[in-house]
Amino acid sequence: MTEPVLPGFTPWPADLAQRYRSQNLWAGATFGDVLAARAAAAPDRIAVLDTDNRWTYAELHHRSRSLATGLARLEIKQGDRVLVQLPNRAEFVEVIFALFELGALPVFCLPAHRAAELVPIARAAAATAMITSATHQRFDYAALAESVRAEVPSLREILLVLDEGQKAPDGANDIAEFRDEPTDLTGPKSGDVAFLQLSGGSTGIPKLIARTHDDYLYSVRRSAEICELDSDTVYLATLPVAHNFPMSSPGILGALWVGGAVAMTPDPTPATAFPLIEQFGVTITGLVPPLARLWTERAEAGRTSDLSSLRVLQVGGARCQDELARRIGPALGVTLQQVFGMAEGLVCYTRLDDPIDVVVSTQGRPMSEFDQIAVVDDNGAEVAPGAQGNLITQGPYTIRGYYDNPEADARSFTADGWYRTGDIVSVRPDGNLVVAGRAGDWVNRGGEKVSAEELEAHLLEHPDVRDAVIVGTPDPILGQRICAFVQPADPAQRPTLTAVRKFVRERGVAAWKMPDAVVVVDQFPETGVGKTSRKELRKLLADGAHGN
């Protein structure tokens, strides 16, 4: 078996890789193989549904092979990296399977990303192409793609998914013109990297996560088993589908693995999603806690759509408060499943037959018996059973290093290759994990992770800001809100919240990263060695400091 060769990819140690293969965890298939097999077995079953499309497995397979052939004509090649920034619509599935077929690597960007994120992502990936929609929710993604191309020399081609009546602007291609007669392409091997997922960068430089067909398919397969999917499953992609959770836990790939259907909702609000659940007969979907709260409240208030097809509602991405967790099942008539995962690998689930106390109060346990987890103190020593500490992990679908990023690896991986999740957890006697929060500096705003240092770097560019520290403050709805502690450059010019938000927005930063409060102070508290103490700043907030 040849090892993957993408430079910048950190493979598993040979002995572990050998074990994962011989135990058939890594089963030797690519995503293209899976789709081909499903299309052969059940060509007429529905694979993908959205408000405008209804594709069978045969159609999806044909479309993706056809687009792969067209992309090859554009000289997009095996191993090339291609930014994909699409909303939840059927074409997302066609595009990523076309890239899988070709062996080009989708780089999974979110619709909310803007130039401040996309440019460094495109540079770090040395992307050659970008596939996006022309517009979505009145935002001009084609123009955004052009602005990224202007900054990134490697980025050659822009391809657009267009709506009825739209035309590609000069310099961009309409993907409809690249749906060629399919030809047989060489394609990737199962040990090859399939795509690049994103993790936030603590220094503002995004971290790219390379996952192989073998390792990711194992996680998808195991997730589908745990979530009890079958060919009658209709999975609704409610969260932005490029995110690891709706992609793979078990997500759209899990639904396709079992020969079920993937449905797409263009937005996650009850007003849009509830009627689609009824229309498509959705059986399972996944939400972040703030959305779960919104859905629960809507259902408790009395609903209009029939949600009786919905059997499982997954909640993850951030801690789901017990109070909310208790309400979800009764309100929506579903089995709640908590999901604690990360794009780097490890995913924990509560099981569908777990006692209610486990489902409501824990974030579940690893999906695989081959996942190894340990809870360690800040010196790396294991804590006493049941005590809180830093979660570290290794296993058959957890990366051994970020893509081409030795500095991040030095921080995020132990010397023997375990991933430091950055999460503080405890493990209960029954094996279930309870997540207490992040050890690091991330603010988790309703499931959207914001790097404190990244945002600080933006604030520091403001002429009135001498120094800035971002901390999360507890929020009953979002989990956390973003509080900016700011030292003014001139005590007479105190930056206001409005000014700071406007400034950050104009720097091209995603809307979810806007500070919710600004607290102007003349000095930051310091730790023993003179570093700014975020912990003390959080205490200051708790003690009553408030912003404007």
Residues of the shown chain interacting with ligand AMP in the complex, contacts defined by CB under 6 A: 199, 244, 316-319, 338-343, 363, 421-423, 435, 438, 449
State in angstroms the smallest separation of the CB of 213 from ligand AMP: 20
State in angstroms the smallest separation of the CB of 350 from ligand DBH: 12
State in angstroms the smallest separation of the CB of 337 from ligand DBH: 10
State in angstroms the smallest separation of the CB of 212 from ligand AMP: 17
Indicate the residue among 172 and 325 with the shorter CB distance to ligand AMP.
325
Q: How many residues appear in the chain?
A: 548
State in angstroms the smallest separation of the CB of 472 from ligand AMP: 12
CA dist 171 and 31 (Å) reads 31
What is the dihedral sign for C-alpha 244, 95, 166, 508? positive
- Residue 88 touches which member of ligand DBH, ligand AMP, none, C-beta under 5-8 Å by kind: none
Indicate the residue among 152 and 194 with the shorter CB distance to ligand DBH.
194
State in angstroms the smallest separation of the CB of 340 from ligand AMP: 4
- Residue 273 touches which member of ligand AMP, ligand DBH, none, C-beta under 5-8 Å by kind: none
List phi, psi (to 5°) of 236: -95, 120
State in angstroms the smallest separation of the CB of 208 from ligand AMP: 12
On the CB side of 101, how many CA atoms lie within 13 Å of its CA?
A: 25
| Cβ-closest position to ligand DBH | 341
> Are 445 and 480 contacting, i.e. CB atoms less than 8 angstroms apart?
yes
The residues near 64 (Cβ < 8 Å, ≥ 6 apart) are 32, 35, 93, 94, 97, 98, 100, 101
Indicate the residue among 254 and 495 with the shorter CB distance to ligand DBH.
254
> Are 469 and 532 contacting, i.e. CB atoms less than 8 angstroms apart?
yes
The residues of the shown chain that bind ligand DBH, judged by CB under 6 A, are 244-245, 248-249, 316-317, 339, 341-343, 347
Indicate the residue among 259 and 341 with the shorter CB distance to ligand AMP.
341
- Residue 368 touches which member of ligand AMP, ligand DBH, none, C-beta under 5-8 Å by kind: none
- Residue 500 touches which member of ligand AMP, ligand DBH, none, C-beta under 5-8 Å by kind: none
State in angstroms the smallest separation of the CB of 238 from ligand DBH: 13
- Residue 319 touches which member of ligand AMP, ligand DBH, none, C-beta under 5-8 Å by kind: ligand AMP
- Residue 347 touches which member of ligand AMP, ligand DBH, none, C-beta under 5-8 Å by kind: ligand DBH
The residues near 435 (Cβ < 8 Å, ≥ 6 apart) are 319, 340, 363, 423, 424, 425
Q: Can you tell me whether residue 421 is helix, strand or coil?
A: strand
Q: Is 268 exposed, middle or buried (0-12, 13-18, 19+ CB in 10 A)?
A: buried
State in angstroms the smallest separation of the CB of 347 from ligand DBH: 5
Place of tokens 């996952």: 211
- Residue 249 touches which member of ligand DBH, ligand AMP, none, C-beta under 5-8 Å by kind: ligand DBH
Indicate the residue among 411 and 502 with the shorter CB distance to ligand AMP.
411
In 195-321, which residue ranges form alpha helices assigned H by DSSP? 213-226, 244-248, 251-257, 270-280, 289-300
- Residue 435 touches which member of ligand AMP, ligand DBH, none, C-beta under 5-8 Å by kind: ligand AMP
Cα 35 to chain centroid, rounded: 22
Q: Phi/psi class of residue 105: alpha, beta or left (left: φ > 0; alpha: ψ in -120 to 50)?
A: beta
- Residue 363 touches which member of ligand DBH, ligand AMP, none, C-beta under 5-8 Å by kind: ligand AMP
One-letter amino acid identity for 531?
Answer: K
- Residue 136 touches which member of ligand AMP, ligand DBH, none, C-beta under 5-8 Å by kind: none
Indicate the residue among 149 and 221 with the shorter CB distance to ligand DBH.
221
Pair type for strands 105-108 and 81-85: parallel
State in angstroms the smallest separation of the CB of 293 from ligand AMP: 14
Burial profile 411-435: b = 16 or more Cβ within 10 angstroms, e = fewer: ebbeeebbbbbbbbbbbeeeebbbb
- Residue 293 touches which member of ligand AMP, ligand DBH, none, C-beta under 5-8 Å by kind: none
What is the dihedral sign for C-alpha 124, 129, 135, 141? positive
CA dist 220 and 214 (Å) reads 10
One-letter amino acid identity for 452?
Answer: A
State in angstroms the smallest separation of the CB of 454 from ligand AMP: 13
